[in-house]
Amino acid sequence: MLAMNKTKILGIASVAIMATIAVTSCKDKRSTGWEYAPNMYEHLAYDPDQPNPNFKDGKTAQKPPAGTIPVGFTTFDYPNTKEGLALAEAEVKSPLTESAANLAEGKELFESFCMPCHGKNGQGDGLVVAHGFPPPPSYSKGQSSRGGAMKDLTDGRIYHTITYGLNAMGSYASQLAPEERWKVIMYVHQLQKQQ
Ligand code: HEC
């Protein structure tokens, strides 16, 4: 009697399991199954790449209105021209005050982004120069290819250089945020005093 019950229970259990498998596996293969909060999968808002009848050009991603800038964005209205450089040199001053913390961060950033070429002490003897890269002039003893002694380069002139690059030196605008550039510049000013 007991043995009968056991086989019966086993039988019912296996039928139930097979039925579950049959019901759940025969659905659309791409289905996510039972969805909790379906708005998370099929949300009401438009995706940026979706067509959108609410705008004239039918696109969801709209260009920002002309003349607007993102929140927190710092502009630098000095073009990469001789005039832009001269204006930046005369007008642009660092907004940071010199402090041990700013200098320490400037040194760290310099050693990551500038030292490979400019060298630890800014003497134009970095590691890649040892491998044949054209050497930049020494910050303290060299002459700029644009005229003037490197030791006299101003805040604005160095900021312009980091932002746009110069000949073999690329722009570091995408690697260094404006505040980080100012910290690097603070440290470069120290290297300009190297003996
Ligand atoms: C890939 C190598 C390389 C890296 C990295 C590099 N520089 Fe330069 N830099 C140069 C070279 C080469 C010159 C000289 C370019 C010329 O005068 O033609 C130069 C020139 C300069 C000048 C002189 C500008 C002038 O008006 O003459 C400054 C200032 C300067 N770099 C700052 C920096 C700072 C700050 C960093 C780091 C954020 C940096 N550089 C990273 C290669 C590099």
Q: How far is the CA of 135 from the centre of ligand 1 (A)?
A: 9
Domain ranges for the chain: 82-191
pTM summary value: 0.76
Six-digit token string for 108: 């760290």
* The domain made up of 82-191 is a member of CATH 1.20.1050.10: no
Q: pLDDT 10s digit of each residue in the chain, 195 long?
A: 556 688 899 999 999 998 887 766 655 667 777 888 888 778 888 999 999 999 999 999 999 999 899 898 888 999 999 999 999 999 999 999 999 999 999 999 999 999 999 999 999 999 999 999 999 999 999 999 999 999 999 999 999 999 999 999 999 999 999 999 999 999 999 999 988
DSSP track, 102-139: HHHHHHHHHHHHTHHHH-TTSSS--HHHHTTPPPPPPT
Six-digit token string for 10: 């086993």
- In a mutational test of the pocket of ligand 1, which residue from 82, 118, 174 has the highest number of ligand atoms less than 8 Å from its CB? 118
Tokens 């991603």 appear where? Answer: 61
Q: H-helix or E-strand containing 152?
A: none
Measured between alpha carbons, how far is 114 from 179 in angstroms, rounded to an integer? 16
Q: How far is the CA of 82 from the centre of ligand 1 (A)?
A: 17
116 in ligand 1 pocket by Cβ < 6 Å? yes
- Residue 1: per-residue pLDDT: 54
